[in-house]
Every structure is written in C-alpha cells, then in structure tokens.
Structure 1
Amino acid sequence: MEYTMFTVDDLRLLLRECAGEDEAADLDGQILDTEFEELGYDSLALFNTVSRIERDRAITLPDDVVSEAKTPRRLLDEINAAAGRPA
C-alpha cells in the first residue's frame, strides 16, 4: 500500500474534528513550531487525535508521542516516519 504524506492541513482538520478548536488559537496561521499547549490542546486532545491518526492511517506511533511531540512539526515527523516502520 502506498503511503500518502500526512500534512499540516491534515493535522489541522483532525485537531478540529477530534478536539475542537480553542477560540484563541489560529490553526490557519503558521503553527508548525507552536506548542500544542499554546494552541489550546492538552494531552487528552492530542491522545484522541493521535488515536484517530493511527486508526485512519493504519500506523503505530511510539507510546510517548503525545508527551514528546510538543509541536505540530514534531508530531508530523513522527507520523510520517511511522509509515516506514512495521506495524
């Protein structure tokens, strides 16, 4: 199966679907290096989003990805790297 790169736009969509959107957060702006906490997303919101990504993309992410991936860029790197790892 060919893997399609998971993008920041994909992440924005799932964050909104899985965790809602903080009124103070501007997910349409440059968010790659902004910490999730600053964007208004806590660990539970990220856990829900990561679970959905794993299910939808049929990938397995490291157990500590929610606590270690503090920014969208870091999470995207983990998601796209997981495509090359066996499930």
Structure 2
Amino acid sequence: MVNEIFTLDDLRRILREGAGTAEGTDLDGDILDAGFEELGYESLALLETASRIEREYDIALDDTALADARTPRDLLEAVNARLRASAA
C-alpha cells in the first residue's frame, strides 16, 4: 500500500511489525520528538524499520538520512522528502 504521505501512524505500525514495542513504551503517545533510543529502538531495529519502509513504499532511503534521523519526526521528514522526490 503506497500513500502520498508517510504518517506517524504508518511509522508506529512499521515499528511494531518489525521491531516490536519496548516494555514501558507507549507508541500511541506523543513520540514525535522522543529519541529512538529513548523509545527502545537501537540501530538494528531502525535498519529493519527503514528496510520495511523502502519495500512498502518503493523508495530508497540514503544512509545519511537514516543516520541523521534521531526522532520519529526526523524519520517522517526524510521519508516524506523521498516520497515527494520520487513522485516528481
């Protein structure tokens, strides 16, 4: 399923499917500016998340965008920028 916009709900779903949810973490709360490490997601979990996003949305995220994404907001911006670029 491809959307024009990658939303926080999309990210929540993919995080849960790929890496699960850390005990004590509420992904349904206000997580936009929480650090991924604070949410219980380490680099391997984020690589899995990026891989799932790339497959589902048929885009390629560059390594810099992923490395620079410290929060869900950062990752949403990177994915949406890539989606806009691929639609152009």
TM-score over 0.5 (shorter chain)? yes
Q: Which residue of 2 aligns with 1:73?
A: 73
Residues 3-82 of structure 1: pairs in structure 2 closer than 5 A: 3-82=3-82
Structure 2 residue identity aligned to 1:41 = Y
CA drift of 1:84 comes to 2.5
Contact 1:43–1:66 under 8 Å retained in 2: no
Cα distance in 2 for partners of 1:43, 1:66 equals: 10
What count of residue pairs does the alignment treat as equivalent?
86
CA drift of 1:63 comes to 1.3
Cα distance in 1 for partners of 2:14, 2:49 equals: 6
Tell me, which stretches of 5 or more residues in structure 2 are unaligned?
A: none
Cα distance in 2 for partners of 1:55, 1:27 equals: 22
Q: TM-score when scaled to structure 1? A: 0.91
Cα distance in 1 for partners of 2:68, 2:6 equals: 18
SS of corresponding position for 1:14: helix
Cα distance in 2 for partners of 1:12, 1:79 equals: 14
CA drift of 1:83 comes to 1.2
Q: TM-score when scaled to structure 2? A: 0.90
Cα distance in 2 for partners of 1:84, 1:13 equals: 21
Tell me, which stretches of 5 or more residues in structure 1 are unaligned?
A: none
Structure 1 residue identity aligned to 2:58 = A
